[in-house]
Amino acid sequence: MTTPSNLSSTPSPPGAFRVLRAYVWRTWREGGRTLLKSSLLFSVLLVVVVLTIFLAPNLLTAPTRQSLEFYSRHYFGSLPDSRVAWAAAFLIIQGPFFLALLTSFTAANIPLNIIGSEINRGTMELLLAAPIRLRTLVLAMFTASLSFAVASWAVLSFMTLVLSFFTLWGMGVTQLMPEPTYWESAFLMPLSLAILAGLLSVLFLLLFPSLARFRTGMLVTQNPVVLIATSPVLISLVVITLRPDVSPVRVAYFAIVGSLILSILLVLVAPLLVRGETLLHEE
């Protein structure tokens, strides 16, 4: 026999792992295609930059030309063609930082579009009304952002490696960076910065949901959240461009350590900062 207490009982919140898995799957269903499109567009952009170095180097900015000239003399001075040396300097030295910028932009943009649309469409209210702890919901958004960061890093790294390999092979470049730790940092830096960018974009949108009304896109954005989220990699890229005398390995090392520390702090602190009342606020 059913008692009144049973009728008035509320359902228990679902397990955290179940919520994480469901939200990540839902996010990928909406943003997976965008990830592939942005990866293809960024690969085309990489090819355009290399062709610009070969065919129209005057179109490059003065700091970019100066940094490429410095790196080509310092690391690829034995190459007979200066354009080949410049292209090698871009792909091998500046390439990982350029890749970090693309992966960070993708990792920040896709979750931002999805969560922003949930806020604008009112879906966020339904999520908050469901028997889900706010902490679990925030961690689910962070997990989805982390998955996009890793995926964008993997896809873009693969495409960049393939394009760089065939480009360097076609130019006859066999001389690589002499510093043994460079390649480890070159692979880890884009991943760590992409993770940080994704977490920052989610956190700022949860703290300031009114920013969801700003339009975002794959290549151009008017949302300040994306600019803030990608600021660490922009700073790193500016440093190696304006200060080519500084070792790129050292810049990459500081970027890796700093981004990992900030990412851990964000995961620990964010659930304490986000408030459900703030997410329900409408401009």
Kindly report, residue by residue over 177-230, the tens digit of the pLDDT. Answer: 556 667 777 788 888 998 999 889 888 888 887 776 665 555 446 678 888 888
pTM recorded for the entire structure: 0.78
Give the pLDDT confidence of 40-70 residue by residue, as tens digits.
787 788 778 777 877 777 777 788 878 877 8
Among candidate residues 255, 11, 4, 233, the one with its CA nearest the CA of residue 130: 11
148: Cβ contacts below 8 Å, ≥ 6 apart:
27, 31, 35, 106, 107, 110, 111, 198
Percent helix, strand, coil in the chain, to 5, is: 80, 0, 20
